[in-house]
Amino acid sequence: MDWNTIDLAIAITAAFLSSILGALSGFGAGILVMPFLVPLVGIKGVVPVMAVAMVIANIARIWVYRGHVRLDLVGPLILAIIPGVFVGTYIYKSMPVDFLAVFLGVFLIASMGLRRGFAGRVIKIERGSLIVGGFIFGVLTGTTPGVGVLLIACLLGMGLGGPALVGTDAVVGLLITFVRTGMFSLYGLIKVPELTLGIAIGLATFPGAFAARWMLTRLSAAVHVGIIEAMVVFAGASFLWRAWAG
């Protein structure tokens, strides 16, 4: 696959900038890059590329919070979520491209409503309901970006907070992205170009964490959250535009 150098540079720059915003606000880092990947891999290749990139991003988070991970909760969560991921990736693979563009656009915009609705909210999770809730989350995460806020809310409901919340979320996220990447590869949606681009995007997010630390003392929370919300809505609108324009 021949990549336009300018498009590639824009996508990598977007990954770096979105990682800064994601580190500042705690959500949405991956989905901001998606519209910039379309010229490189097409609409169908966007989520698989981001699955590869998020493997790298989650490894970095695990390393930082490795001493705080609640491994006793990872097993039950993964057993509940993974079957849904298999179903979700199959649904994604089967979607027509135009419908997929509309689906991604609508969900990206709706994810901002989810973020506001679940901000600071705790979802109480009983062991019995974990299987059903985990399966539904797995289906969503297999087909769409931007549903990580639901996992955060569930982890809060299981009593996690602070570094333990971030570290456990990273481990669960890593295992999910491993499965997603494997399924997308099985369906022929990740080949060498997608794998290479995903690795490049993932590596581009590393410097953003250091830049975010510098910026934390210079931007108010309201400003950077507002910026990232506006960019996510822009990303969703761009997919809707591509579907409409054909």
- Residue range 40-54: mean pLDDT, rounded: 87
pLDDT for 87 equals: 93
Q: What is the mean pLDDT of the chain?
A: 78
Whole-prediction pTM = 0.74
The pLDDT, as a whole number, for residue 199 is 92
From residue 65, give the alpha-carbon distance in Å to each of 11, 106, 196.
28, 33, 27
CA distance 246 to 236: 16
pLDDT tens by residue, 146-197: 667 677 767 766 777 677 877 888 899 899 989 999 999 999 989 988 899 9
Say if residue 209's pLDDT is above 70.
no
**Whole-number Å distance between alpha carbons of 25 and 160:** 19
Return the C-alpha torsion angle 84, 188, 170, 142, nearest 10: -30
DSSP 124: -
Highest-confidence segment of 54-63, 81-90, 107-116, 230-239: 81-90
Contact 207, 16 (CB under 8 A): yes
